Chain A
């Protein structure tokens, strides 16, 4: 009995040690690198990089783009999950697959598609030109690309939750004459609220950090169409190493907040599932 128990705990500690080592080397150290390099030349350099007007403009643009994206994708996710889980209709499978397309596509291609609609070679270009609207190489293009990349995030969280709860409760309420809004507010929403929040958190994280797609459509106009990740890229490629890491640390701070929130929400979701 004893040798086996010893062997068991030895395996256990070796495996845990391997796991911790892997996480430390692959994930934790890169994260630490950002902070160490950001503060390498002292607090003043760090602060200067962050309060730099270009950095602040980039931060504002990032927040605008991410905010718009999250609002629109939440709107979409709520309606799409309702349509897909509460009704029977032909082509449902195809619809869900189409919604998932952005997951399967490289972010660079996600940016590319908007060049073909709104860019100089796009079919909508003559119209935009005539009305003096700029989309590609301007803020709307950045927002569109960000929406594209994060499009399925919220519906994907909601659909499995709503599928597992079935349609009986909604039918029962509709049978008693309740309207759509009341049904959603009183019956569906309480069931999906943590899942929805979880989706919003994931969507925010990805929207803030999106690089490839935005890089294609932004045109890199400093102070105009640079988001934080693009600003970081420019600083880095111009060898302003400390500044680029200082700006990165803003995003790292957001990431940490998001990860902590995610952990709390995931815990709530699991607890909710157990009790109902």
Chain B
């Protein structure tokens, strides 16, 4: 493990921001710390950086316990949420700052800054001040400034939060590519699951100061390990009385279930070709056009669920009764999650496979 946290606890004025946090990160990986706001993800990042200190537990970077090493000696590059660019310095001076502090030779500084400016694609803007740059450009400068002193580990706090939606998508791809090119171990914090899934090699889900689950985006998506992960990831909706649904039976110890849009197929009444017996009847309550698909909210005997419908499929209207087929559910209780398949279609599924 390149970065390792062992049993970290941290309290701010009686608020427990970290509860027995432990995880490890391999060298060269790009890791996303994902969780709702107040889940303690930023605190973890700041403790790794040395901007906060844990009350107990060990932080190990590259085999060295860094708890007592000041932030500036940990070999870390940090990109702040607001970028914290030095507003009275030019782009050039911002990027050169860390090197000047280290008393690098002038020629070396010039070469390194030029290299980084090329990397971030801001050639010709060296003399500009931060307030003369766009949000995306500022983020790139912050990124270059953090990389300049050749850190061993790059930490990014909500790197896309301050950028408008359109530029954000471009920047995500750019950041992922650039970090791969540089090959630096990186950890970023985000509350946006799309961002984490799209950018990270590995995701760590945090909630209420604890680590809920760690795994690749696919694992996290397909196999939520805790009730929180199951609810947090995807457009999950909770179903209270799942045993009433066609094809599902009550499993002892599991009183509630989660359903995601990708588990659901919606068809106009009477148009379903197979498994009509496995389907339910629901009423369309609202329809949102989402660009490449429509998002339907369907009332299923008092439970509201969300389903997607392709644009090319025959249109349904608000108030219309539709046939709803649920393939699978995640059943959960306070501590565990398990997958339940619709028994009425299971047999046929096996034939298909």
Contact = CB atoms under 8 A, between A and B. Distances in A.
Interface string B14-50: 0000000000000000000000000000000000011
A158 B98 CA distance: 27
Contact of B73 (A168, A173, A177): A177
Which of B82, B87, B102, B131 has the most chain A CB atoms closer than 10 A to its own CB? B87
Interface residues of B, number: 23
A176 B97 contact: yes
Given A171-B51, A177-B98, A186 B86 contact: yes
Contacts of B84: 168-169, 171-172
A187 B72 contact: no
Nearest to A167: B84
Interface string B67-85: 0000111001010101011
Interface string B288-299: 000000000000
A182 B101 CA distance: 9
A179 to B, nearest CB: 8
Which of A178, A182, A191 has the most chain B CB atoms closer than 10 A to its own CB? A178
B86 A176 contact: no
Could you tell me the dominant secondary structure of chain A's interface residues? Answer: helix
B89 interface: yes
B149 interface: yes
Contacts, number: 54
Contacts of A187: 86, 88
A271 interface: no
A9 interface: no
Contacts of A257: none
Given A171-B51, A186-B89, A191-B87, A178 B101 contact: yes
Contacts of B50: 175
A190 interface: yes
A237 interface: no
Contacts of B102: 177
The 4 closest A-B pairs by CB, nearest first: A168-B84, A190-B88, A177-B72, A176-B98
7 contacts: A169-B87, A171-B51, A172-B84, A173-B101, A175-B71, A187-B88, A276-B131
Interface of B: 49-51, 71-73, 76, 78, 80, 82, 84-89, 97-98, 101-102, 131, 145, 149
